Amino acid sequence: MLKACMVGVMAVLLVSCSSQPGPRPHVESGMAAPSRVDLGQIPGWSSDDLDFFQRGSMSGEFIPEKTFRALVRANPDLFPNGMASFGFVTDPGEDLPVGMSRREVPHLGDQVSIGLNCAACHVGEVKFDNHPPMRVMGMTSSFDPEAFYNATVIAMLRASQPAGMKKYLGEYVREYDHRTDLSGIAKEHLNLFHNIGVALHLPAEPPKNLPPPSGPGRNTAFGLLSAVLFNEPTPYAPTKFSPVWNADQRTWVHWDGNTSSPINRNILASLGLGAPLEGRHAIMDFSLVDRQTQLSEAIRPPRYPLPVNEASASRGASIYAQYCAKCHDVPAGYEDKRLHSVTEVGTDPARVKLFTAKQAALYNDFFAKLQLDGYTPSAEPTVRSTGKYVASDLAGVWARSPYLHNGSMRTMRDLLTPPAERPKTFRRGDTEYDTANMGYKNKGSYVFDTSTPGNFNSGHDYGTSLSQGQKKDLIEFLKTK
């Protein structure tokens, strides 16, 4: 029962929290550089904007903070290293990690509650040998949302049983509630756990067939949303969290170019993270979601922080022009020329097979009828099915590891290797960087198995016939993008 409920956590819906075109956030001159953040990525942000993006609310708070902290202390096996167990970025002196927010939530009795925001999946850190780690805004993080929500839900399920409730109340009462009516407190918390489960869209009956865990930096967001909102289960098709820099320069986003309204996408994310939905009425603060959305608009690609071999990069520029530019350097106004069929590129087909014309119609109907204070539905459909993958521009490509839509390629060197010779497995979760091969080192607790459906590392064999020297030059040039 506990294991089954893990995969039923429909809150893992971080649908690439990008942005909607709108007014730029206020520019505050003289802004002091926070630790390890390249302010060149966020030229329009104030220090308050930075703080809000990293720890501000998008209405996803789903559990009272006191309850959560008591659950963590009562279940050290589920939270062995605290928030670091799940790949969160942390800051000294901060009691919440990057990507976690707190605020008083009316539907949770106005208790101070915590939840996730865009930064959980779109702010990461890269560690270089002999250099301080670099924080990258808008990148695919190493956060594992499935593992985080699974641990939290299992802790609640344990506390719903007599022995687990006794252990949980021992922690909660000692720290937060000194009443002597333990039976009454227990009933209150059983009701609270139920309400949290409803907000997280937990199914009444757990699924019989469990997909494999997606691992750090990935989920199958649209599949979970379809099951929750429409009772339409879809095949398992994990994708990595999309980098969100230069989002204002794109009309259609996601790996298949299926969405033109970032605010709609972020509303879905908020609902999935824990904002309740009563019929067609979404219970959330639209202004918070809108601010997160607009801040994402201002994020720019990260600059490679280490020296680049200019002679090698110059040679690589010619190689790039011959092998890469046709697909990845598409002029503005011709965005759909970036779309390529699975037959053409040969990459794992699960994602495009998942998002059919029927799926698009369901989402368009949902948004047309959505009730949310401050929200105005678009007059035109904002969701489509393309059946193809997008060849995105390669700005900041050095910080996009692991590569391809499903994150099945640990390094750029692996991507430039003939498909039959590519690694069958690799480890994911650590953020130490391999500068020679461009990507994360083969370290971490999660083992990525490319033989699993949805995880295939096939296709995209462009440039695989280059010599080792040419591949080195191309990689050096890509560091300058």
pLDDT digits (tens, 9 = 90+) for 416-428: 999 999 999 999 9
User: 377: pLDDT confidence band, cut at 50, 70 and 90?
Assistant: very high
- Percent with pLDDT over 90 in the chain: 74
Position 33 pLDDT exceeds 60:
no
C-alpha of 163 from chain center:
35
Write down the pLDDT at residue 9.
34
Residue 206 binned pLDDT confidence (cut-offs 50, 70, 90): low
Q: How far is CA 5 from CA 8, 209, 300, 341, in A?
A: 5, 11, 38, 36
- Which pLDDT belongs to residue 223? 84
Tens of pLDDT, residues 179-193: 888 899 999 999 999
User: What's the pLDDT band for 32 if we cut at 50, 70, 90?
Assistant: very low
- Determine which of 7-11, 51-55, 227-231, 258-262 has the lowest per-residue pLDDT on average: 7-11
* pLDDT band, residue 333 (cuts 50/70/90): confident
Q: For residue 123, what pLDDT band results from cuts at 50, 70 and 90?
A: very high
β-bridge partners, 440: 433
Q: Helices 262-273 and 286-297 meet at what angle, rounded to 10?
A: 130
- Tell whether the model's pLDDT for residue 164 goes beyond 50: yes
Q: Is pLDDT at 302 greater than 70 in this prediction? A: yes
pLDDT for res 82: 87
Task: Work out the number of other CB atoms within 10 angstroms of the CB of residue 350.
Answer: 22
pLDDT of residue 13: 32
pLDDT tens, residue by residue, 453-469 = 999 999 999 999 999 99
pLDDT at residue 227 above 60?
yes
The enclosing H or E element of 135 equals strand 134-137
pLDDT of residue 228: 83
Q: pLDDT category, 16, cuts 50, 70, 90?
A: very low
**pTM (predicted TM-score):** 0.90
What pLDDT does residue 203 have? 72
d(CA 117, CA 278): 21
What mean pLDDT is reported for the chain? 89
Domain boundaries defined on the chain: 2-297, 309-329+393-481
Cα 191 to the chain's mean position, in Å?
Answer: 30
Instruction: Give 370's pLDDT tier (boundaries 50, 70, 90).
Output: very high
What's the gap between Cα 89 and its chain centre?
A: 13
**How confident is residue 158, by pLDDT bands cut at 50, 70 and 90?**
very high
Looking at 370-449, list the stretches that DSSP marks H as alpha helix, in order from N- to C-terminal side: 412-415
- The proportion of the chain whose per-residue pLDDT surpasses 70, expressed as a percent, equals 92
Which pLDDT band holds residue 26 (cuts at 50, 70, 90)? very low
